[in-house]
Amino acid sequence: MEKNTEKIKVILADDHVLLRNALGAMVDKFEECRVIHQCGNGKEVIEVIKQGVHPDVIILDLNMPEMDGFEAASWLYKYRPDINILVLTMYDSELSMIRLLGSGVKGFLKKDIHPSELKRAIHSIVQSGFYFTNHNSQKLAHLFHTNTEGSMKLAQLMLTTHEFEFLKLACSDLTYKEIALKMGLPTRSIDTLRDNLFIKLDVESRVGLAMVAMSNGIVSF
């Protein structure tokens, strides 16, 4: 079973068993790869890692129950910064990309790529420690581009802890007053948080906030 120890050891995390299995079969067919574990959420990943398993790559889905890709990536970055993380996402969002970069994620893949791209990504991240498609690179380059609107846009997409927490709570039936209570902040501060997010995320209503949060995988549903 475990004969060929030179193979790239991959852990796959996605809550959809069907797709995870299909993807796992595909990765296993890449000759130099071997899926050593499949997990349904971030917690399972961490448990496996804690048991001493040391993969070369972890392919993380963003939306998962129990513990999502964001949280899992943050944990891994903190306690096992040597493990390469490749995030596989439905969305093409600068917002989550920025956050994930902060969590030490070194590669992004949209789910609409060609299988050969996945293969290339795995090799790239193992060999060079990172993987970005041209598309991603362009986005990043554009974001970090100084002097222009680029850097402003980057600043915009850096959400503070409060903003992030608020954004998640805004995706509910809760009143701003109730959200303020939950966050331990005065209602007025919530007003400012909201107003700032309206500008940062380029929306003009709470529904807009909720839509952005969902379409960027920030809230799981």
Partner DNA sequence: GACGAGCTCCGGGTAAATCCGTAGTTATGA
Partner DNA sequence: TCATAACTACGGATTTACCCGGAGCTCGTC
| Contact set with DNA (CB under 7 A) | 155, 158, 160-163, 175-177, 185-189, 191-196, 198, 204-207
Q: Is 221 an interacting residue with respect to its own copies (CB under 8 A)?
A: yes
Of 43-51, 73-81, 103-111, 138-146, the segment contacting its own copies by CB under 8 A is 103-111
Query: In terms of CB distance, is 113 or 157 closer to DNA?
Result: 157
Count the helices and strands in the chain (H runs, E runs). Answer: 11, 5
Can you name the residues that pair with 218 across neighbouring β-strands?
Answer: none
CB 86 within 8 A of CB 117: no
The closest of 138, 152, 144, 137 to 200, measured between CA atoms, is: 152
| Cα distance from N-terminal residue to C-terminal residue, the chain | 38
Query: In terms of CB distance, is 66 or 141 closer to its own copies?
Result: 66
Q: Is 203 an interacting residue with respect to its own copies (CB under 8 A)?
A: yes
Among 82, 173, 184, 188, binds its own copies (CB under 8 A): 173
Query: In terms of CB distance, is 138 or 172 closer to DNA?
Result: 172
Q: Is 196 an interacting residue with respect to its own copies (CB under 8 A)?
A: no
**What's CA 3's distance to the chain center, in Å?**
33
Query: Residue 9: helix, strand or coil by DSSP?
Result: strand
Q: Is 155 an interacting residue with respect to its own copies (CB under 8 A)?
A: no
